[in-house]
Amino acid sequence: MGTRFATRRVVVTGASRGIGAALATRFAAEGADVAIVARTLEQHDHLAGSLAETAARMEGFGGKVAVIVADLADGDDRGRIVPETEAALGGPVDVLVNNAAAAIYAPTSVYPLKRRRITFEVNVHAPLDLAQAVIPGMVERGEGWIVNVSSASAKLSPGPPFRREGVALTLGIYGASKAALNRETNCLAAELHGTGVRVNTIEPLAAVLSEGANELVGDQLRADQIESMESMVEATLALCDCGPELTGRVTISTELITELGLTVMTLDGTAPAPA
Q: Tell me whether the omega of the peptide bond preceding residue 160 falls within 30 degrees of 0, making it cis.
A: yes
**Largest pairwise CA distance in the chain:** 55
Neighbour-count burial of 203, counting CB atoms closer than 10 A to its CB (0-12 exposed, 13-18 middle, 19+ buried):
buried
Q: Is 105 among the catalytic positions?
A: no
Helices (H), 37-112: 51-59, 75-78, 81-89
For residues 94 and 112, give the distance between their C-alpha atoms in angstroms, rounded to a whole number: 37
Catalytic one of 174, 175, 200, 240? 174
Q: What are the strands, taking DSSP E only, across the chain?
A: 9-13, 33-38, 65-69, 95-98, 144-149, 197-203, 207-208, 226-227, 250-252
Could you tell me which of 210, 229, 211 has the C-alpha nearest to residue 267?
Answer: 229
Could you tell me which of 81, 101, 100 has the C-alpha nearest to residue 34?
Answer: 81
Active-site positions read 174
